Amino acid sequence: MLSPIAQRDFALAIVRKLRAAGFEAMWAGGCVRDRLLGLESKDYDVATSAAPEQIRTVFGRRRTLTIGAAFGVVTVLGPRAAGQIEVATFRTDAAYSDGRHPDSVAFTDAQHDAARRDFTINGLFFDPLSNEIIDYVGGQQDLKQRLVRAIGDPRLRFGEDKLRMLRAVRFAASFGFTIEDATLHAIQDMASEVTAVSAERIGMEIRRILVDPNRTIGLELLRATTLLPRILPEVAALDASAWGETMRVLSQLREPSLPLAMAALLSREQGVSDAASDLKLPAPGSAAHANDLGRRLRYTNKEIDRVAWLLTQLPIVKRARETRWPQLQRILIHDGAIELLALHEAIAGPDDMALVFCRERLAWPAERLNPPPLIDGSDLIRQGIPPGPRFAMLLEHVRDAQLEGTIHSRDEALALADRLIGQ
Ligand code: ATP
Ligand code: MG
């Protein structure tokens, strides 16, 4: 486990060591912003006048990784509790011909390094030895005014790297900041260009927006900037009432996983799940869209399967009290059950009868909720039943009877299996 204090101490030690070797070195970017906001930083970045080779000499080749050295970034490995810290040479980025990556970088001074960063609140340096803030971009003022403002001409900056449009939304949402007017207008004008960004990077930003406590602010901003239809067309297509309801449901989730937040996001999609539940059918439309969307954003198969599972089971949980126990039991012992009930609670409220019913069942002792099966496949083989497609069906039938309480012993289970084979 990383310890914030150890991380901080290590970031301080790195600055000290580079200074002792005669270089400029400071904390840079997000960690400075977080510190001024009174938030704990997840990671510290150090910016320095030392070139990558010099950084390696100061810290030793065995304690450094050079994966990013072409961009002037050397990773310095710290004590276990401190993890690793990226030490980056002051640089400017040359042209971005693909709108994603700089074609090359050139090493420069701190002021130019500040200027290549995306937003003024991310362009600050901090000297941890003197406790001084070094601000070339007006970042302190914007932090005070709670503004996300591009450094320099927003159109040029978004033209260089279109991902910055999504980053602006994420920072504004997560800190509860406003996007400064010129920056906002540039995003609105250039939103369609966001598709130049790789699916992975878009997926990562959406993930962070969705799991953030301010997720609905993020989504409202995506809509206001017209980024939404470019990246989440299924959600952009919701009518006003479905949108409002989706935001309400999303706002009820507490520290959701990505799959849970995504299931909430798709739970009202085109009213599919509601119509389906009236017809007492699962909601295949939503699950299929979850698949499309998850693949497009490069989420893992495990995450995508979980979203689809949540959306498929949701209508069953809504009718929990009218559902046969063996069917409901299989849902409640699934390792997604807690999230499923959290989703249902967000939709239906904490006093919903079906929810209360499910929670009561879930609190049953294990031997009642999920009693060990009376027989298994090897019992069937011993009875002379050949393994085959009917095997699983037989066992499922016997299991249902056990859960429904119509059989209670191994002998009864074997007798039932015999009878079923006879049919
Ligand atoms: P967080 O880690 O909380 O998302 P952060 O500001 O630390 O926020 P990182 O992606 O870790 O964001 O990047 C560190 C710093 O690098 C930023 O603060 C910013 O100065 C700069 N930076 C990151 N991505 C970009 C970008 N796409 N364009 C310009 N500068 C960037
Ligand atoms: Mg960071």
Q: Is 282 helix (H, G, I), strand (E, B) or coil?
A: coil
Within a domain: 161: no
Calculate how far, in angstroms, residue 256's C-alpha sits from the geometric centre of ligand 2: 21
Calculate how far, in angstroms, residue 57's C-alpha sits from the geometric centre of ligand 1: 26
Within a domain: 399: yes
Indicate which residue's Cα is closest to atom 6 of ligand 1: 30
Within a domain: 186: no
Calculate how far, in angstroms, residue 417's C-alpha sits from the geometric centre of ligand 1: 63
Q: Is 188 helix (H, G, I), strand (E, B) or coil?
A: helix
Within a domain: 155: no
One domain for residues 296 and 416: no
Report the pocket of ligand 1 as residue ranges, CB < 6 Å.
29-30, 42, 45, 117-118, 122-123, 161, 163-164
One domain for residues 4 and 53: yes
CATH number, domain of 48, equals 3.30.460.10
Calculate how far, in angstroms, residue 118's C-alpha sits from the geometric centre of ligand 1: 7
Residue 112 corresponds to which tokens in the numbers above?
């130019």
Strands 132-134 and 91-93: unpaired
Nearest Cα residue to 373 out of 316, 421, 338, 329? 329
Beta bridge partners of 119: 150
Atom number of ligand 1 nearest to Cα 123: 20
Report the sign of the C-alpha dihedral through residues 71, 72, 74, 75, in that order: negative
Proximal ligand: closest to the CA of 174: 1
Within a domain: 100: yes
Residue 418 corresponds to which tokens in the numbers above?
């015999």
One domain for residues 366 and 386: no
One domain for residues 23 and 115: yes
Pick the last residue of a domain from 145, 179, 207: 145
Calculate how far, in angstroms, residue 44's C-alpha sits from the geometric centre of ligand 2: 7
* pLDDT value at residue 70: 86
Nearest Cα residue to 235 out of 211, 204, 261? 261
Indicate which residue's Cα is closest to atom 11 of ligand 1: 30
* pLDDT value at residue 37: 97
Indicate which residue's Cα is closest to atom 9 of ligand 1: 30
In whole angstroms, give the CA distance from residue 263 to residue 211: 12
| 208 residue type, one letter | R
* pLDDT value at residue 105: 82
Tens-level pLDDT at each residue, the chain (423 residues): 899 999 999 999 999 999 999 999 999 999 999 999 999 998 999 999 999 999 999 999 999 999 888 889 999 999 999 999 999 999 998 767 776 667 778 899 999 999 999 999 999 999 999 999 999 999 999 999 999 999 999 999 999 999 999 999 999 999 999 999 999 999 999 999 999 999 999 999 999 999 999 999 999 999 999 999 999 998 999 999 999 999 999 999 999 999 999 999 999 864 444 444 444 443 445 788 899 999 999 999 999 999 999 999 999 999 999 999 999 999 999 999 999 999 999 999 999 999 999 999 999 999 999 999 999 989 888 888 888 888 889 999 999 999 999 999 999 999 999 899 887
Pick the last residue of a domain from 342, 370, 398: 370
Proximal ligand: closest to the CA of 158: 1
Calculate how far, in angstroms, residue 83's C-alpha sits from the geometric centre of ligand 2: 14
One domain for residues 297 and 402: no
Residue 322: give the domain boundaries.
273-370
Atom number of ligand 1 nearest to Cα 34: 3
One domain for residues 51 and 141: yes
Proximal ligand: closest to the CA of 175: 1
Atom number of ligand 1 nearest to Cα 170: 4
Best residue for ligand 1 mutational test, from 75, 118, 119, 162 (most atoms within 8 Å of Cβ): 118
Indicate which residue's Cα is closest to atom 30 of ligand 1: 117
Task: Report yes or no: 94 and 107 within 8 Å, Cβ to Cβ.
Answer: no
Calculate how far, in angstroms, residue 339's C-alpha sits from the geometric centre of ligand 2: 29
Calculate how far, in angstroms, residue 42's C-alpha sits from the geometric centre of ligand 2: 7
This prediction's pTM = 0.91
One domain for residues 17 and 51: yes
Pick the last residue of a domain from 92, 114, 145: 145
Within a domain: 185: no
Atom number of ligand 1 nearest to Cα 161: 27
Beta bridge partners of 222: none
One domain for residues 135 and 51: yes
One domain for residues 81 and 117: yes
One domain for residues 82 and 43: yes
Within a domain: 251: no
One domain for residues 111 and 53: yes
Within a domain: 234: no
One domain for residues 314 and 364: yes
In whole angstroms, give the CA distance from residue 121 to residue 140: 7
* pLDDT value at residue 283: 45
* pLDDT value at residue 100: 62
In whole angstroms, give the CA distance from residue 106 to residue 285: 50
Indicate which residue's Cα is closest to atom 16 of ligand 1: 29
How many domains does the structure of the chain reveal?
A: 3
* pLDDT value at residue 387: 83
Q: What angle do CA 55, 97, 111 make, to 5 degrees?
A: 40
Best residue for ligand 1 mutational test, from 34, 73, 122 (most atoms within 8 Å of Cβ): 122
